[in-house]
Amino acid sequence: MNDGSRLPAGFEALEPFAARWAAESAAERDRLRAESSEAERIAFYRAGKDLLAPALASLDRRPLGELDDREQCLLNLMLGFAHVAIAVEVQGDLEEQRARLRRHLRITRSSADL
Interface with other proteins (CB under 8 A), residue total 40
Query: Interface with other proteins includes 35 (CB under 8 A)?
Result: no
Q: At 3, which helix (H) or strand (E)?
A: none
**Of the listed pieces 2-10, 14-22, 36-44, 104-112, which binds other proteins according to CB under 8 A?**
104-112
End-to-end CA, the chain: 30
Q: Which x/- pattern, by CB under 8 A, does the window 42-81 give for other proteins? A: -------x--xx-xxx-xx--xx--x-------x--xx-x
State the nearest-atom distance from the C-beta of 11 to other proteins, in Å: 13
Task: Select 5 or 82, whichever has its Cβ closest to other proteins.
Answer: 82
DSSP 3-state of 98: helix
Task: Select 21 or 81, whichever has its Cβ closest to other proteins.
Answer: 81
Q: Determine the Cα angle at 67 with ends 65 and 73, to 5°.
A: 120
Q: Tell me which residue of 23, 24, 19, 33 sits closest to 85, measured CA to CA.
A: 33
